[in-house]
Amino acid sequence: MANSKILIVDDDPDLRQALRLRLRANNYDTVNAVDGYSAIAVAYKEHPDIIILDLGLPAGDGFVVLDRLQKDDKLSTIPVIVLTARDPQSSERRALMAGAAAFFQKPADSAELLEVIRATLPKTATGTVLPS
Amino acid sequence: MKDQPTRVLLIEDNPGDTDLVRLRLVEGKSPVDVNCVNRLADGLDSLKKRSPSVILLDLNLPDSRGAETFRKVLESAPNVPVVILSGQDDEELAMKALHQGVQDYLVKGAFSSSSLDRAMRYAVERQALLRSLEMSRKQQLEFKNQFLSHVSHELRTPLTSIHQFTGILLDGLAGEMKPEQRDHLKTIMKSVNQLTAMVRDLLEATRAESGKLCIESRCVAIGDLIRQAVAMMQPAAREKGVGLEVGVDTRIPLVHGDPGRILEVLINLIENGIKFTPQGGAVTVRASLVQTDPDFVYISVMDTGCGISPEARALIFERLYQDPNAVDNNRKGLGLGLFIAKELVNLHGGRIWVASEPGSGSTFSFTLPLYSIAKLLLPVITHEGRLREDIVLVKVGLKPRSKPIQANWRETCRRCFDVLQRCVYLDKDLVLPAMTVGGAEETFVVVASTDLVRANVMMTRIRKQLEKVNGLNGTGELEVSALAVPLPERDGELSLDGQVERVARTISGMVRMVLGDQSSPEGQ
């Protein structure tokens, strides 16, 4: 069975690389986007199972992306995990109300992040994780 | 000011003095438009209608004397300069007035028209100058806080890089690590975690200073929180060989506060206790009620460490203060922890203080307000001076179906609370603040001024509305039930306050029972 596919949206190449290493070591496939605009384009093309989204992005920040995702029939079903340097007091509630499934502040504990990814992936009736 | 007449409000009751001042004003160089009143009340009324350029104020008026007079005027018109006309014996009082915001004073019978003129102009200029300094100070403070927020945000990006890649190496994702290499990586990781904590503290302290720290208060079982904090700090305590003990009075009722913030304060104090206690010592956390202060719970963290000198004790809750005698030089941190703890405790309406002698340990204590149902109930269960006829408790239980993501469940619960508020008539029904119960279950209690029959209508409405809440549908179970509240006799011997107290106690008891099978055995 194919691996689940995760779209990483962050303008920081180091973070993208670190996440990629982690996720692949846990048998997830990854694709990247570096800004708000390409985030939507890549989501359309690749139809990932989960999106990990930074908030401070060029060309349309994370909230613009969340909004666009919610408005699209196909894309709105993809769960979004926000991973941002911004602090929860100002951003967490807003992100969750905008449709995010979870909120993490950088640096995030890898084990916790992986656990939430696992719990958030769409599952089949038998509890097997569905690929895209 | 040169062309327009200066509007002067003269508050003076002695006709002779009034005439003299008027004379001086007319003799003066600048044109003036004088409004004279002889009582403070009339003066305050006039201030409400129209702002003068300057106020000339006699301190002894028929309806107000001394310091009270200028205090009231300053309160009423904080932006209008005030010049006091004082009697010869009143100079000391006039000086006091200067310290409180009055611009100048003149001694009656000893000023000419030119000194009166000069005093008024000086007062106006000085007031304008002080206001512009104040605005500049506020701008600088705002700039500093924005800068610190920005810095703490920016620091997270490189911190994250270090954290991520150190973790990747440590977990063997880039090849097998030798034991020595793993040890070094763990050391790096420890520093990264310390840096992250410092960055977080920096932001918190900045927010505390600009008054932007928020707390979300609900009902909290303080014993549970203390046990949670102790459990979190046990590993650190064990590593240092320091004992960590708890003593919580089981009779403590619910506390009104923000559980996350209270936990922060507890962890901060326990961490300090462990830091400053040598191996073999102990840190004890206690919570108890104090007879002389019945509205608060008293919490203390006591250590058997090196103690704090009197000089340090006075400064210890200030920002960036670090005890120069700190034993463990590796763990100094930014010195913001106690400052933040103090701000958080104050926001809750409590106090924090320390008792210590060098050489015999320290005890940090703080208070938190107890949750008072009576205060919240009073406006709701009384009507036209009497207790309402029927009161019903509606219990709404939310249970997640499977283990939820913390932040999402919290958000769902918040939304449910908002929806509940909209399902009741707020002038006669009260949704009690959320109660933190062990585990993920959330219980809301509505105190409704109605009978069981009409309560059914409310329950149906609640069920319908909550089922629609985004996030609850499919992920949580909803349970709604109602209980009638036994009431004391309305025309009995108790005063209205007494009746409300009795009902509050009854409801507290019922709420405890309702929560009883979910909270810990040593709960309320």
Q: How much is the ipTM here?
A: 0.90
CA-based nearest residue in chain B for residue A111: B167
Are A14 and B164 an interchain contact pair (Cβ–Cβ within 8 Å)? yes
Are B167 and A110 an interchain contact pair (Cβ–Cβ within 8 Å)? yes
Q: Minimal Cα–Cα distance from B426 to chain A, Å?
A: 25
Are A103 and B174 an interchain contact pair (Cβ–Cβ within 8 Å)? no
**Contact of B336 with B319, CB cutoff 8 Å:** yes
Instruction: Name every chain A residue with its beta carbon within 8 A of the beta carbon of B156.
Output: 85, 105-107
State the alpha helices, DSSP H only, in B276-369: 310-315, 337-347
What pLDDT, on the 0 to 100 scale, is given for residue B524?
Answer: 34
Q: What is d(CA B73, CA B61) in angstroms, rounded to the nearest whole number?
A: 12
Question: At B153, which helix (H) or strand (E)?
Answer: helix B113-170
Structure tokens at B131: 């206001």
Q: What is d(CA A117, CA A127) in angstroms, rounded to the nearest whole number?
A: 14
For A127, phi then psi, to 5°, come to 90, 5
Q: Shortest CA distance to B158 belongs to which of A26, A14, A39?
A: A14
Instruction: Name every chain B residue with its beta carbon within 8 A of the beta carbon of A120.
Output: 405
CA-based nearest residue in chain A for residue B162: A107
**Contact of B292 with B277, CB cutoff 8 Å:** no
Are B164 and A102 an interchain contact pair (Cβ–Cβ within 8 Å)? no
- Maximum Cα–Cα distance across chain B: 98
Are A110 and B403 an interchain contact pair (Cβ–Cβ within 8 Å)? no
Q: Minimal Cα–Cα distance from B412 to chain A, Å?
A: 10
The 8 Å CB, 24+ separation contacts for B22-31 are: B23/B113, B24/B111, B24/B112, B24/B113, B24/B116, B25/B113, B25/B116, B27/B113, B28/B113, B28/B114, B28/B116, B28/B117, B29/B114, B29/B117, B30/B1, B30/B2, B30/B5, B30/B6, B30/B117, B30/B121, B31/B4, B31/B5, B31/B6
DSSP-derived secondary structure for B348-391: TT--EEEEE-TTS-EEEEEEEEBP-HHHHHHHHHEETTEE-S--
Secondary structure (H, E, C), B246-261:
EEECCCCCCEEECHHH
**Contact of B387 with B490, CB cutoff 8 Å:** yes
Q: What letter does residue B24 receive in the DSSP assignment?
A: H
Q: Shortest CA distance to A50 belongs to which of A7, A106, A101, A95?
A: A7
Q: What is d(CA B252, CA B16) in angstroms, rounded to the nearest whole number?
A: 66
Q: Which residues of chain B have pLDDT under 70?
A: 1-3, 322-333, 403-407, 436-439, 470-475, 490-491, 516-524
Are B408 and A96 an interchain contact pair (Cβ–Cβ within 8 Å)? yes
Structure tokens at B66: 């001394």
Can you say how many angstroms the Cα of residue B91 is from the centroid of all Cα atoms in its chain? 40
CA-based nearest residue in chain B for residue A89: B214
Q: B132-156: string of b/e by CB count within 10 Å (b at 16+)? A: eeeeeeeeeeeeebeebbeebbebb
Inter-CA distances, B312 with B309, B332, B361, Å: 5, 15, 14
Q: Shortest CA distance to B410 belongs to which of A97, A54, A50, A51?
A: A97
What end-to-end distance do the CA atoms of chain A give, in Å?
11
Are B405 and A102 an interchain contact pair (Cβ–Cβ within 8 Å)? yes
Instruction: Name every chain A residue with its beta carbon within 8 A of the beta carbon of B168.
Output: 18, 21-22
Are B165 and A18 an interchain contact pair (Cβ–Cβ within 8 Å)? yes
**Contact of B485 with B392, CB cutoff 8 Å:** yes
What pLDDT, on the 0 to 100 scale, is given for residue B438?
Answer: 54
What pLDDT, on the 0 to 100 scale, is given for residue A21?
Answer: 96
Q: What is d(CA A15, CA A32) in angstroms, rounded to the nearest whole number?
A: 11
| B280: region left, alpha or beta (phi > 0 left; psi from -120 to 50 alpha) | left
Instruction: Name every chain B residue with its beta carbon within 8 A of the beta carbon of A57.
Output: none
Give the mutation candidate from B157, B258, B472 for the A interface (greatest A CB count, under 10 A).
B157
SS3 B39: coil
What pLDDT, on the 0 to 100 scale, is given for residue B95?
Answer: 82
What pLDDT, on the 0 to 100 scale, is given for residue B142?
Answer: 87
Instruction: Name every chain B residue with its beta carbon within 8 A of the beta carbon of A103.
Output: 407
In sequence order, what are the residues at sequence separation of 6 or more whose Cβ sits closer than 8 angstroms to the Cβ of residue A36?
A57, A58, A59, A60, A61, A62, A64, A65
Inter-CA distances, A123 with A119, A132, B83, B107, B203, Å: 9, 11, 77, 86, 39
What end-to-end distance do the CA atoms of chain B give, in Å?
68
Q: Which of B159, B203, B411 sits opposite A96 (nearest CB)?
A: B411
